[in-house]
Chains A and B, each alone.
Chain A
Amino acid sequence: MNWIKQLWLRRRLYDDLDQEIAFHLQEKIDELVAGGMPIKEAEAAARRDFGNLELVRETAREAWGWRWLEDFSGDVRFGARMLRKSPSFTIVAMLTIAIGIAANTAVFSVVNSVVLKPLNYPKAEELVALHQIAPGAEGLADFEAGLLLSPSMYFTYSEHNRTFQSLGVWVSGAANVTGLGAPEQVRIVSVSDGVFEALSVPPALGRWLSHADQEPNGPGRVLLSYGYWQRRFGGERGVIGRIIDVDSHAREIVGVMPQGFRVVDIDFDLAVPLSFDRGKVILSGFGFHGIGRLKPNVTMAEANADLTGLLPVWMDSWSNGPKTDSHIFEAWKITPLIRPLKQEVIGNVGELLWVVMGTIGVVLLIACANVTNLLLVRVEARQQELAVRTALGASMMRIVRGLLVESIMLGLLGGLAGMGIAYAGVRFLVAMGPSNLPRLNEIAIDGRTLAFTLLLSVLSGLFFGLIPALKYAEPRSGSALQSLGRSISASRERHRARNLVVIGQLAMALVLLVSAGLMIRTFAALRKVDPGFSDPRHLQVMRVSIPESLITGPEQVTRAQNAILDRLSAIQGVKSVGFASAMPMEGFDSSWDEIYAEGKDYSNTIFPPMRLYKYVSPDFLRTAGTRLVAGRELTWREVYTQRPVVMISENLAKELWGTPAAAIGKHVREFSFVPWHEVIGVVQDVHETGVQEKTPEIVYWPTLMSDLHGPGPLDAVRVVTFAIRSERAGTESFLNEVRDAVWFVNSNLPLASVRTMQDVYDKSMARTSFTLVMLGIAGAMALALGIIGIYGVMSYTVSQRQREIGIRLALGAARGDVLRMVLEQGARLALVGVAIGIGAGLVLTRLLRHLLFGVSVYDPLTFAAVSSLLLLVASLACYLPARRATLVDPVVAIRYE
């Protein structure tokens, strides 16, 4: 009979036993009666001969070894009765724990969904991002993404590798879909052969994009996302084979991907094949993200070695055009450094989430400490009950276990209530989370989160139950039965545990408040940074792309953009307008290239340093509020006559020629074999990649040039962000007029990313503000709990010392002395707590160093301010009980008890 089955049968076995015993007694009685004994006597005799009925039952049951279980259920029943008996204690303790656990559950569900769960692909552990670095290429080091792959690299890697099951490259972007009602700009992802094979998620309908779909001049094909399929086709199954116009290029729908499918972290509408023309591919063009699926049992190091070995093959197989040296890239020191795809997706957000998790965990500790103190008081009040139980034969172990069961039940109750709050908390977190939080759509409370909550509840129960239980188990000098409630004053020892708990609470609260304070200082420092544009709230931005299929000639593109500017500036309330290849902080892949400056010697370097470059229209920089430091902005005349002019940033001007003014009239060029461009203006530095990042050196080209992408025919930038400076920015009526203005020029042009610059700015600060809010909440909770803790302890102490205080007063102590005495005691606790907190803070805040900006982790101001705040509030919390102590009437106090 196995153990579980026995457990099921337990009830029946007990019934059997009872029946059997009843039978025994009945037989005996019958026999005695038959022998002539009166029935009453016979019953008594039968029982006497049988022995202690209860004891027999108990020992018989014990044979099955369920004693522990029965004791346990007894403990549970008793615990439940005790909790029910003091509902106010139970509710306060439960709520305290519930809030702590709810916060932890909510944050854990985010950590779990974002950091811990594997990506949503089959065998996701085999997936890697083909990350590589190029330490020899100056400027490129600024790329967080490292060096992306070029098409020729993709060909080499995918055709010659020996360590990958499949491998491909992809890039995300936007495209216009026409012919399905209003023109719409959609998010597209362009993928090479190998990407879908690597991700291995079967399509919901139809098929993947195939190798044949990559042919440069083949028939156009497209794959839909589930969302787009539902939105535009209502989930109609007959959609396969239909033709849609993507950037005015007819494409046949071959399949639909399932719900929730993403290419790495890109939530796309359409997937189209990348079609590289083998004949035209060169070495450069490092603009594609690589992804691969390793063969089983291949390590990353082996794969890295494999790819590293292919780099010479790559340089031998392709070139950058006639008369160029393929091996110049050796100087770049390109190093494949593949990493798990998950790391690519979640980036550095994991660290942030763990910091939040840690702080919220500390809040739970503080909450537990409060409950510990409540329980300590309770155990003291229950000494008599416990002493009686001991006297009746309960062992120490049994009582300690009973107390622990009670507190674990309290923890579980709190956890249960916390679960409910956590559901709301998760929604709050998702809404609050940085908008660029990866895997946002996957955040949910799952089995693992529930298990975590359960574990946390039990652990908190154990945690706050252990100290009171152990304290009870301590050997006592006198008999608890007698001495109880008769103490004259508070013995030092009686309060030691509670004082220690309060000190711990205050120390933890200080650490959290200092962290929150450092984030506030960071936030303030960030707000003070001049981002390089002004008054973002009144700067409307939107993205418009003009595909080749819509307007062919480059100059016509610029003229259309110019016409849009004219219409926009005619809108009422518009002060100025302009456009650029991207606004600062917009997050579009920035472009970098080597820039040659006139009069500089580049003979001892293979490449001049890489610089960020952007394309701007006349008036753009004025519209954005980027200050002109020297010279002037470019003009439309210069654009249309293709005068070789350029503007540069202040830091670049200083680096090259010493002062901004000295740069005017000098020349730079992008390639060594194109005409020089004259520097006509120098503008202030701009925080292109976010206020936390350093300002890059920037070159601003006109948008219409013959050497836009190296020497070649005239070309124009087709995808640009328009900036409109107006008090009306962001209002509905204004946006309608803006749309009409664009559509007046060409009704097929869709608008995308319509927002104010403030949104862009806030989004770039999202990480900091999220951390700030989370630490702020944690700090506020910690402060509140800590204050409640010290208030509770001081009140209790005062109530215990009523009699002593009464005697003191009767003997002539001034009320001021009593006040000071109590306050001093509270202040001592607070001071010790703060001192320990400062010590711990100096160590722990170092964990925040990557999240801070413009403030040291040891910032004395924050530490001093938080310490004084905590001391002040703690003294206030002590003042109320202290005042109550002075109001004690000596006569009443002495008669008390």
Chain B
Amino acid sequence: MTKETQRDLFPGALEMMILRTLKRQPLHGYALAQHIKRMSQDTLQIEEGSLYPALQRLLKREFVKAGWGTSSTNRRVRIYKLTAAGAKHLEDEVSSFERMLEGITRVLAPEKS
């Protein structure tokens, strides 16, 4: 591995980001990877490949649907779409994540001041 200061995301973080991204529009895997990278402004060190196991897990739980389409480069590609269940799951995850973040921030805040 090239980057030494790699930091593991907590479990479910990647899924959450995928769902959030797909909420905006259906995308294929590569575009998803690029989008997440761009949005995080490269602060998150995500191996592009790790996207795919996450997508498979989401497929299995039926939070996303996949269908074959054509990419802008005119190649056959699988495009993922958020399902209603996926949207619901995203909402739950985001709110629980926000609560968690709030808690962590509170604990961390006094030290800083």
Known: A23-B29, A23-B75. A64 touches B48 (CB 8 A): no
Given the known interface contacts A17-B56, A60-B56, the answer about A27 and B49 at a Cβ–Cβ threshold of 8 Å is no
Q: Across the interface, do B48 and A51 meet the contact criterion of CB distance under 8 Å?
A: yes
Q: In B37-60, which residues have CB < 8 Å from any A CB?
A: 47-50, 52-53, 55-57, 59-60
Chain B stretch 55-80: residues in CB contact (< 8 A) with chain A: 55-57, 59-60, 62, 66, 71, 73, 75-78
Q: A21: which B residues are within 8 A, CB to CB?
A: 49, 52
A26 touches B75 (CB 8 A): yes
Task: Determine whether the beta carbon of A49 is less than 8 Å from that of B57.
Answer: no
Q: Are the C-beta atoms of A30 and B73 separated by less than 8 Å?
A: yes
**0/1 per residue, A44-84, Cβ < 8 Å to B?**
00001111110110011111110000000000000000000
| Distance in Å: Cβ of A154 to nearest Cβ of chain B | 71
**A19 to B75, alpha carbons, bound, how many Å?**
11
Query: Shortest distance in angstroms between A651's beta carbon and chain B's nearest beta carbon?
Result: 86
B30 to chain A, nearest CB (A): 5
**Nearest CB of chain A from residue B67's CB, rounded to whole Å:** 11
B-contact 0/1 string along A10-35, CB 8 Å cutoff: 00000011011101101110100000
From B28, B49, B56, B71, A50 is in contact (CB under 8 Å) with B49
Nearest-Cβ distance from residue B73 to partner chain A, whole angstroms: 7
18 contacts between A and B (CB under 8 A): A17-B52, A19-B78, A23-B71, A24-B29, A24-B30, A26-B75, A28-B30, A28-B48, A48-B2, A51-B48, A52-B49, A55-B49, A56-B49, A56-B50, A59-B50, A59-B53, A63-B53, A63-B57
Q: Which residues of A contact B55 (CB under 8 A)?
A: 60
Verify B47–A49 contact, CB threshold 8 A.
Answer: yes
A681 to B99, CA, bound (A): 114
Contacts A23-B28, A24-B29, A24-B30 known; A60 to B75 CB distance under 8 Å? no
Q: Which residues of A contact B2 (CB under 8 A)?
A: 48
Interface: B33 (CB within 8 A)? yes
**In the complex the two chains form, is B30's CB within 8 Å of A56's CB?**
no
Contacts of B57 in A (CB 8 A): 63
> B47 touching A62 by the CB < 8 A rule?
no
Tell me how far the C-beta of A12 lies from the nearest C-beta in chain B, rounded to whole angstroms. 12
Q: For B57, give the chain A residue with the smallest CB separation.
A: A63
Contacts of A19 in B (CB 8 A): 76, 78
**Is the Cβ of A24 less than 8 Å from the Cβ of B33?**
yes
Q: A-B pairs with the 9 shortest C-beta distances?
A: A51-B47, A51-B49, A56-B49, A63-B56, A59-B53, A60-B53, A63-B57, A50-B49, A60-B56
- Best-buried of A27, A53, A56, A59 by chain B (most CB within 10 Å): A27
CA distance A277 to B20 in the complex (A): 96
Residues of A within 8 A of B62 (CB): 1
A52 CA to B53 CA, complexed, in Å: 12
User: Given the interface contacts A63-B56, A63-B60, A64-B56, does A27 sit within 8 Å of B71 by beta carbon?
Assistant: yes
- With both chains docked as a complex, state the minimum distance between the C-beta of A41 and any C-beta of chain B, in angstroms: 14
Q: How large is the interface on B (under 10, 10 to 19, 20 to 34, 35 or more residues)?
A: 20 to 34
Q: Tell me the complex Cα distance, A53–B52, Å.
A: 10
B42 to chain A, nearest CB (A): 11
Q: How far is the CB of A11 from chain B (nearest CB, A)?
A: 15
Give, as a whole number of angstroms, the nearest-CB distance from A848 to chain B.
60
User: A23 touching B77 by the CB < 8 A rule?
Assistant: yes
Which residues of B are at the interface with A, using a C-beta cutoff of 8 A?
Answer: 1-2, 28-30, 33, 47-50, 52-53, 55-57, 59-60, 62, 66, 71, 73, 75-78
- Known A24-B33, A26-B75, A59-B50; 5 more pairs at CB < 8 Å: A17-B56, A19-B76, A23-B28, A48-B2, A64-B60
Measured in the bound complex, the distance between the Cα atoms of B48 and A64 in whole Å is 20
Q: Do the beta carbons of A20 and B49 come within 8 Å of each other?
A: no
Q: Which residues of B contact A27 (CB under 8 A)?
A: 30, 71, 73, 75
User: Given A51-B47, A56-B50, A23–B30 Cβ distance below 8 Å?
Assistant: yes
In the complex, how many angstroms separate the beta carbon of A435 from the nearest chain B beta carbon? Answer: 64
Q: Enumerate chain B residues within 8 angstroms of A20, measured Cβ to Cβ.
A: 28-29, 52, 77-78
Q: Min CB distance, A43 to chain B, in Å?
A: 14
B50 and A51 contact, CB distance less than 8 A: yes
How many whole Å from A31's CB to the nearest CB in chain B?
Answer: 9
A54: nearest chain-B partner, CB-CB: B49
For the complex, give the distance between the alpha carbons of A20 and B62 in Å.
19
Query: How distant is the Cα of A811 from the Cα of B77 in the complex, in angstroms?
Result: 80
Q: Which residue of B has the minimal Cβ distance to A46?
A: B48
Rounded to whole Å, the gap between the CB of B62 and the closest CB of chain A is 8
Q: How far is the CA of A604 from the CA of B3 in the complex (A)?
A: 115
Which residues of B have CB within 8 Å of A56?
A: 47, 49-50, 52-53
Question: Is B48 a contact of A50 with CB atoms below 8 Å?
Answer: yes
CB nearest neighbor in B for A52: B49
The winner among B52, B62, B71, B76 for most chain A CB atoms within 10 A is B52
How far is it, in angstroms, between the C-alpha of A16 and the C-alpha of B66 when the chains are bound?
10
CB nearest to B56 among chain A residues: A63
List of B residues within 8 angstroms of A53 by Cβ: 49
Which of A17, A21, A24, A50 lies at the interface centre, i.e. has the most chain B CB atoms within 10 A of its CB? A24
- Which residues from chain A contact B1 at a C-beta distance below 8 Å? 51
The interface residues of chain A lying within 8 Å CB-to-CB of B77 are 20, 23
Take A20-B77, A27-B73, A49-B48 as given contacts and tell me if A62 and B33 are in contact as well, using a CB distance cutoff of 8 Å: no
Chain B residues near A51 (CB-CB < 8 A): 1, 47-50
Residue of A nearest to B72 (CB): A27
Q: How far is the CA of A19 from the CA of B68 in the complex (A)?
A: 11
Identify which of B47, B53, B55 gathers the most chain A CB atoms within 10 Å of its CB: B53
Question: How far does the alpha carbon of A28 sit from the alpha carbon of B75 in the complex, in Å?
Answer: 13
Q: How far, in whole Å, are A16 and B68 apart by their CA atoms in the complex?
A: 9
Distance in angstroms between the alpha carbons of A61 and B57 in the assembled complex: 9
State A17–B50 Cα separation when bound (angstroms).
Answer: 13
Among B2, B30, B77, B78, chain A packs the most CB atoms within 10 A around the CB of B30
- Shortest Cβ gap from A23 to chain B (Å): 5
* Residues of chain A lying within 8 A (CB to CB) of residue B48: 24, 28, 49-51
Q: How far is the CA of A24 from the CA of B52 in the complex (A)?
A: 10
A562 to chain B, nearest CB (A): 95
Within 8 Å by CB of A60, from B30, B52, B78, lies B52
Q: How many angstroms from the CA of A21 to the CA of B55 in the assembled complex?
A: 12
Interface centre among A20, A26, A28, A48 (most CB of B within 10 A): A20
What is the minimal beta-carbon distance from A467 to any residue of chain B, in angstroms? 40
Chain A hits for B30, CB < 8 A: 23-24, 27-28
How far does the Cβ of B44 sit from chain A's closest Cβ, in whole Å? Answer: 13
| List of B residues within 8 angstroms of A59 by Cβ | 50, 53
* Chain B neighbourhood of A60, CB < 8 A: 52-53, 55-56
Contacting residues, chain A, for B49 (C-beta < 8 A): 21, 50-53, 55-56
Q: How far is the CA of A20 from the CA of B78 in the complex (A)?
A: 7
- Note all chain A residues with C-beta closer than 8 A to B52: 17, 20-21, 24, 56, 60
Closest Cβ of chain B: how far from A247's Cβ, in Å?
A: 80
Report B93 CB to chain A, min CB distance, Å.
18
Whether the pair A16, B78 counts as a contact (CB closer than 8 A) is: yes
- The distance in angstroms between the C-alpha atoms of A50 and B28, with both chains bound, is 15
Closest to A27 in B: B30
How far does the alpha carbon of A16 sit from the alpha carbon of B29 in the complex, in Å?
12
In whole angstroms, how far apart are the Cα atoms of A50 and B50 in the complex? 8
CA distance A23 to B78 in the complex (A): 9
Of all chain A residues, which has the CB nearest B33?
A24
Central interface residue in B1, B48, B66, B73, by most chain A CB within 10 Å = B48
Report A-chain residues with C-beta under 8 Å of the C-beta of B75: 23, 26-27
Set of chain A residues within 8 Å of B71, measured between Cβ atoms: 23, 27
Separation in Å of the B65 CB from the closest CB of chain A? 11
Residues on the B chain within 8 Å of A24, using CB: 29-30, 33, 48, 52
Q: Which residues of A contact B76 (CB under 8 A)?
A: 19, 23
- Chain A neighbourhood of B33, CB < 8 A: 24
Residue of A19, A23, A61, A64 most packed against chain B (CB within 10 A): A23
Instruction: Give the CA-CA distance A640 to B50 in the complex, in Å.
Output: 113
CB contacts (< 8 Å) of A52 on chain B: these are 49
Considering the chains assembled together, what is the distance between the CA atoms of A8 and B77 in angstroms?
Answer: 22
